[in-house]
Chain A
Amino acid sequence: MLKNTKCECGHQNPVGTVLCEACGLPVHPEDVQSDKPLEMRYEGAARRSQKSNPNILDRVWNFFSSVKVAVYLIIITLICSIIGTLLPQVNVIPSNDPASYYATEYGWIGELYYALGLADTFGTWWYKGLVLMIAASLIICSLDRIIPLYRALSKQQAVKHETFLRRQKVLYTGDVANAEAWLGEMEAAAKGRRYRVTREGNALLAEKNRFSRWGPYINHIGLIILLAALLTRGIPGWYMEQGIALKEGQTGPINGTSYYLENIQFTEVKEVGPHISGQELQFAFETEAVLYRCIDNCHNPLSEPILEEVKQHTIKPNEPLVHEGYSIYQIDYSFEPQLTAITFDIGAEGRSLGEIKIELADPAFFYPVGDLTFELSGYYPDLTNVNGEPATKSRQPNNPAFIFDVQRADGVEESYFVVPLEQFQTRLKGSGDAEVLQFEIADMDASRYSSYMLVRVERALPYILAGALIFLFGVVLGLYWQHRRIWVRIDGDQLIVAAHTNKNWYGIREELAKLLRKTGIETDAKSLDNNGVTKK
């Protein structure tokens, strides 16, 4: 059945209209009879969600366009978030086996928590689904209202139906002797308080701060931008995160990029604060690091990559190394002393012939000393004995052993087996009359710390921040300014003044009382409150 939506003033309203777009009279006859204050939301304009005969798409639209649904979504997400903080989430537990961790630490509650997927609440499909539904609600709520609201506010007329005025929440009725003079005073007074005034015959409309009506939509747009920016993590190259652990002196690749990072030195400062006797407090820790770009021989296991220095920076908490979208953070460190190089002083009959330095992570093969050449023909980083033969337990240089083939200038060849940490050396091969070479430790280099760093790319960050700031701007616009309107209608000597604000009724009553005072009408702000009762 088609409802008659034509108003008595002659204006044809769209289906779903609550208050006539032209004169403000309620469209439905039962609303006209009531004496309750008018529902002024969205100016009583028809919204898309009020379409008759909705199809499935319309129903989805209607669902998400409801503020009630939006609040439910917020509350449900809130409760789910609380559940997600009850036990530590998988990303922070100190175990690689979450199933058994939750069971042993928290008993059957932990087991259930893990089984339900709550150990990763914020990564579950339903939590993401809730956020997506909030996003849908933000978009649809805004679209559903902003267009009709914009239309209604841009084609307002000053002359409103008497019923519309009498059923506003702020109302003054009285008598006025000279309509024209009074309206003139009112216009001047309203303009004095920054109202924009429109007059039509013996009717007047004063309006200010209409922009505050857009506040909610601006803040919703901000949130939509923020949520959309989070989705960009799916775009290749927009989001990357990896950990990198480097010993002091070590250079390692940042996987998936052409960058290498070197840990020159790690420093940990401990200090004793005042007041706390003897208690050591970690005061600072930092990695002196160099970022390189690989320009040749990259990702080639057989040869050394050729690196070009890009940037040197001391990475510490709160001061990451930042280069072209890459940020490298100091996350953690561990104290694990380890040999990195040994320098031998080569002696013969008390004379020093020279020094050779062996990098334990990646030793070179040949070392010239004077007229001698040392060839490293055997290297056992972590010496052990397998069936009488030397072997290594691991690749960590815990107890390195070396076999050197020595070539003398006169062609004599010798071979030495050296275990520096055990102060042991023996000549395996060579003539007895040449003097025995002595391998004395001249110096040892050690790395004391491993530094753990996090490499991240987050291209969406500026957009997230922009969204958040737009949100805040919209909130401030909507909360701290109010859209105020005052309607005046004089019929004969009967004066009706009504006012509407989207919030802060206290403020508009005070303001209207001041305006009336300027036109010679003394009234108490409180008495303007037309709360639910129509004054005749």
Chain B
Amino acid sequence: MSVEQIESLIDLSSTFLMVAFLVYNLSFIVFGIAVLGKRWSNRDPQSHERRWGTIGLIIAIVGFLSQAAFAGLRWAANGHIPVSNLYEFLTFFGMMVVLAFIIIYAIYRKPLTGLFAMPLAVVIVAYGAVFPNAVKPLIPQLQSIWLYIHVTLAALGEAFLAVGFAAGLMYLLRTVDFRDKSVSGRRKIRGVEVTLFSLITLISFIAIIFIFRGAGYHAEFTQTVIEIDQTTKQEVEVEHTVEYTLPPIFKPHNSVTVEMQSFLGMEEPLLEAPSWLNGVNAGRKLNTIVWSLALGLVLYGLLRLILRRPLGAAVSPIMDGIDEQDLDEISYRAIAIGYPIFTLGALIFASIWAHQAWGRFWAFDPKETWALITWFFYTAYLHLRLSRGWQGEKSAWMSVIGFLIIMFTLIGVNLVIAGLHSYAGV
């Protein structure tokens, strides 16, 4: 294939991803109609929910197929399954969340699940699109059939655990009493608000990246870093070029501005990253985090001002009339399906591959360790639920924390902790 052909395939695949993304949003809206429209006049709530739920499911399946076409075309273009960098992996993970949702829906037929699982998939796919989408050949360590088995199974297992989180969060919104003024009541309300705020911050992060990418914002710095030369063992000063796509609130530590577009009259960076954040990309990461948190706080604050009550309290009326035990059951069942798939894909097959590629099946590489941490956590979840009777609220909280651990394992480890799995280069 010529470069032109590859590029046109990639363009075509991106179109399919865009279509999938929009269709997922549509599916989310239809599930919203299915759940909220039950109370509209002149209709039988049950048949309304069933009909719109089926439409929502069909749309979700169309979106899934469109994204499968994206993955297939990209596969054809780059010659390997598209799960080898954060862009490819996260979009794939989003697709697996949709698949897990479709399977769970087939079992329980609760349109409400779609109201939470579909936006989760939307956010994950959009998050993936933040990362560079360049096509690259696979590095030698990844050239193995195990890439296909290990990564896809791990993603599918984690997707089921994510659907467990969506149902768990629904359970909390359904059951937490937002008028409860007692200490434990306030703590629960705060917990729900923190969870929702985190999701809003994640959405802010995605939005801010796309807004400034669309506006073509650019700033560039030259950062001087002191490194120890590996051969001479002497300290040397090395200059790095650091590029920003967000207006620099923080510039890199010990750096000089090469070029900076002005932003709202801001001509120079406001602050400098502290000295302990002296890694090459640390300043940029700090800047991105500050932007996301700031926008997240603004959005959250605005929503609170408009709604005049905690977000959870505003959302929870949607849940009225939903059987909370069903939600508990769906959350548990999704986790029960996800746990063995995760164990097989993220630990057992991972070890087999590590044995083949690196010559050892387990070496406490950060990504491996975090997969083990995830496994420990859900092992504790199952013990507490099945043996100690932690059902309902406690197990819903655990599903929320579990999802946090999964997201850290998938993304945090790549971005914060370096290691053998940091292929993404972001």
**Chain A residues within 8 Å of B, Cβ to Cβ:** 41, 67-68, 70-71, 74-75, 77-78, 81-82, 84-86, 88-89, 91-92, 94, 104, 107, 121-122, 241, 271, 273-276, 281-285, 316-318, 320, 327, 329, 331, 454, 456, 458, 461, 464-465, 468-469, 471-472, 475-476, 479-480, 502-504, 506
Contacts and interface: CB of A to CB of B under 8 A. Distances in A.
Nearest to B387: A67
Contacts of B376: 74-75, 77-78, 81
B142 to A, nearest CB: 8
B348 A274 contact: no
Contacts of B106: none
B380 A75 contact: yes
A464 B352 CA distance: 10
A318 B359 contact: no
Contact of B144 (A273, A318, A471): A318
Contacts of A92: 419
Contacts of B379: 74
Nearest to B325: A506
B88 to A, nearest CB: 13
B359 A329 contact: yes
Interface string B401-426: 00000000000010001110000000
Interface residues of B, number: 59
B344 A472 contact: yes
A318 B10 CA distance: 28
A283 B355 CA distance: 21
Contact of B364 (A122, A273, A506): A122
Contact of A282 (B140, B276, B370): B140
Nearest to B228: A104
B392 to A, nearest CB: 12
Given A284-B140, A472-B340, A71 B380 contact: yes
Contacts, number: 132
Contacts of B135: 273-275
Contacts of B139: 281-282
A81 B369 contact: yes
Q: Which of A68, A91, A275 has the most CB of B within 10 A?
A: A275
Interface in B318-357: 325-326, 329, 336, 339-340, 343-344, 347-348, 351-352, 355-357
B384 A475 contact: no
A471 B7 CA distance: 46
15 contacts: A67-B383, A71-B380, A74-B379, A75-B376, A78-B376, A85-B366, A273-B78, A274-B3, A274-B135, A317-B357, A318-B140, A318-B141, A454-B359, A456-B360, A472-B344
B352 A275 contact: no
B301 interface: no
A233 B361 CA distance: 13
A471 B382 CA distance: 14
Nearest to B10: A275
A50 to B, nearest CB: 16
Given A78-B377, A479-B336, A318 B136 contact: no
Nearest to B226: A104
Nearest to B1: A274
A71 B398 CA distance: 13
A465 B352 CA distance: 8
B298 to A, nearest CB: 31
Contact of A475 (B228, B340, B360): B340
